[in-house]
Structure 1
């Protein structure tokens, strides 16, 4: 069996970990495509915003933005202490399982969302709750990155995980397209009447996530307990006091990391906006049918997955900051061209929408590997909790600018300019951040 060295990145006695463990870890990303690609991007949110039964397109799009904003606030308030407590208690894998299970249940319950105005709020509520617990799960999952990588290959493994997510999305979207959404009568006699094709797709998506989350839960070992908050059963207020103390220590010793957290919060919200509103834009502005949106989604995931794998190697060679800067520049240019050339119709969206996808994956993966390089051993969950918190603290920016530009100019296509503006601001904040190694994060290392 081929093996690679992995554990805490600074461990002088890193264990040899089978490659199958890396694959098992990445399969969680493969499975989570059911939430990222199917629920939030190309199927369920498009179903809500483009189906007449829920209300007008502009109204539902605005409510979608508010639901995601509320979810973002909840994550911002709670993600860092959930990561902190899972680090200390040695229950990172346990909480990954719990949070993933809640997401699976939310996806399955979306089957109940028939196209009626009163059920819009059930759909948005399930989407918001699923988003909160997905982010909690991602905190623990991202923290596991240092258990399956080394300083030499962390970029490639991070990229591999992101790419597995994209490829998982491709396979699942194709199954849903040919099994339920494209045929007049799909598998098991499912039709589009009363939203049944999409609703049944949610059941399959839930099962998909449940099945492919299992390998990581069974193969990646639990982390050892660390001293501090997690060892003793302490209250939430004590956890927050510890959190603020550690943020202050990080600010005193490594402001560069703090600035990266701020910059990444902004540009990651822009990246999320590209995918969250991409399917909505394709259907509303460029006239894609539900089936055409899924075909575009498959192509988008192919492009994003391949680019993420290829650029993962450049991450290790050139450094993650270089990758992120180049990707953000590409996103700003591509997004601007989608707007300027939008009268060209679907061909324009196919070309420049796919170009956007070329840059999204590498930026996401390199952002994760940048942070993983500077986290002290034993604090991965806590700092990735901060990563989620800063990201969610800014999560209202892209939806707000999307809605604001549409409201001001009266056309959905202007929403893309709001997303481009977020990416541009994130790029400006990132440029002064120094590209550094992992050693600078010693301030958060647990003391005896």
Structure 2
């Protein structure tokens, strides 16, 4: 495929980006705000125990994701097609989300709620491996950053819209629709099936309109053997690229901090500052809006000063705002600190992908991005594990949340030693595209 050829039609490109809108709703509504908060306040015996149990569920699912993602990704590469894997993982997310309807507000629902959440989380996190792998086949190389950015923005928007629907359509209304009973939390539990429907509806266009790679027509056993061998070559080969390896380690740490921040932000707001569920949802909406604004605004900073400096600015700002969020006592001050946190989350995420594109050798770009995906998940269990352990050890959510700052700080220090190559192809993004 030449660099000027578009593999997908405009409709296929939009359908690919729409999947980000689809799956981001799960992480915003269930993984971060509504169900995380509902679990700690209504199902667990107390907020501290609920925070720890939710953290252990995330830890378990993160370990599974870290093991399964690179292996299944390599096998899918050998087999050629991505859509069957993407469909199976998305279906897992749909089933797990729908099952959360059974999460009744009592301690008897603790374990099956955690299992259903972990099932959906594993499915949708692993689905992202195959979804991201489709990007080079959706647009030419010089449009990948733009396409990826648009999809990222749609993800923020999808999470925000879904939170608004949850807040004003179910949680905050005096009389819930469809005869839902507030006394048994049906107006909150219905969010699980709602997310399942959201995932289904907005994923369908990708499967219908976005092209997939042709099958390699390999027997399954051969595809598995070739995939495992390719993964070994990738892992061993990265040792020859010290700058990329150093960056992958730095990214692994601060990405873990970002993931933990999103997973426990709502729980912290509710437990420490006494926010009601509807306030937590509004807080989540504000974070999505500010993160989207930050990602959009700092795109110019990335172009002007480079992705490494953009990430450094974002991490230093996250440390400052995060420390403020831990020290403030009033709810109003926490709103200010939390909103500032959101502004710098988007740039940290968006510029990370841009820096990896510069560091990756041209002939190993796909393999390097595979390791980039792994670096975002390999230690994802550490953040929730340390947070949950610190929360229980000190009987304090503030102590637990403080562990996130350590991930930002260590990742920042390592990033300072990464040498960013010059942007040799900075102007190609403005070249006209011919079909």
The TM-score with structure 2 as length reference comes to: 0.89
Selected match of 1:407 from 369, 380, 392: 392
Tell me what 1:124 maps to: 114
Deviation at 1:30, TM superposition (A): 0.7
Tell me what 2:29 maps to: 38
Tell me what 2:279 maps to: 292
Deviation at 1:94, TM superposition (A): 2.2
2:302 maps to 1:312: no
Tell me what 2:19 maps to: 28
Alpha-carbon separation, structure 2, partners of 1:161 and 1:95: 20
Tell me what 2:239 maps to: 251
Residue pair 1:398, 1:419 contacting (<8 A) in 2 also:
yes
Residue pair 1:159, 1:311 contacting (<8 A) in 2 also:
no
Alpha-carbon separation, structure 2, partners of 1:184 and 1:426: 46
Residue pair 1:80, 1:383 contacting (<8 A) in 2 also:
no
Residues 100-139 of structure 1: matches in 2 within 5 Å? Answer: 100-139=90-129
Range moving further from structure 2, 292-301 or 214-223: 214-223
Deviation at 1:216, TM superposition (A): 2.1
Tell me what 1:427 maps to: 412
Range moving further from structure 2, 156-165 or 15-24: 15-24
2:143 maps to 1:158: no
Change (3 A) 1:129 1:386: farther
Deviation at 1:385, TM superposition (A): 4.3
Residues 364-383 of structure 1: matches in 2 within 5 Å? Answer: 364-372=349-357, 374=360, 380=366, 383=368
Deviation at 1:232, TM superposition (A): 6.7
Alpha-carbon separation, structure 2, partners of 1:313 and 1:90: 36
Deviation at 1:206, TM superposition (A): 1.0
Deviation at 1:260, TM superposition (A): 2.0
Q: Note the residue ranges of structure 2 that are not aligned, 5 or more in a row.
A: 425-435
Q: Over aligned residues, Cα RMSD in angstroms?
A: 2.5
Deviation at 1:96, TM superposition (A): 1.3
Residue pair 2:52, 2:389 contacting (<8 A) in 1 also:
no
Deviation at 1:120, TM superposition (A): 0.8
Change (3 A) 1:105 1:376: farther
Selected match of 1:330 from 293, 313, 317: 317
Residue pair 1:332, 1:420 contacting (<8 A) in 2 also:
yes
Deviations 1:223-255 (A, max 9, x none): 24579xx67732756633431222112322x23
Range moving further from structure 2, 69-78 or 288-297: 69-78
Residue pair 1:110, 1:123 contacting (<8 A) in 2 also:
yes
Q: Note the residue ranges of structure 1 that are not aligned, 5 or more in a row.
A: 1-6, 440-448
Alpha-carbon separation, structure 2, partners of 1:371 and 1:86: 22
Deviation at 1:271, TM superposition (A): 0.5
Tell me what 1:239 maps to: 227
Range moving further from structure 2, 427-436 or 79-88: 427-436
Range moving further from structure 2, 389-398 or 266-275: 389-398
The TM-score with structure 1 as length reference comes to: 0.87
2:252 maps to 1:261: no
Change (3 A) 1:215 1:312: farther
Q: Secondary structure at the match of 2:222?
A: coil
Range moving further from structure 2, 366-375 or 417-426: 366-375
Deviation at 1:221, TM superposition (A): 1.2
2:171 maps to 1:186: no
2:129 maps to 1:142: no
Instruction: Give every structure 1 segment of 4 or more consecutive aligned residues whose post-TM-superposition deviation is greater than 6 Å.
Output: none
Change (3 A) 1:55 1:236: farther
Deviations 1:176-200 (A, max 9, x none): 1111100121111224222211111
Change (3 A) 1:420 1:378: closer
Tell me what 1:55 maps to: 45
Q: Secondary structure at the match of 1:221?
A: coil
Query: How many residues are matched?
Result: 423
Change (3 A) 1:149 1:431: farther
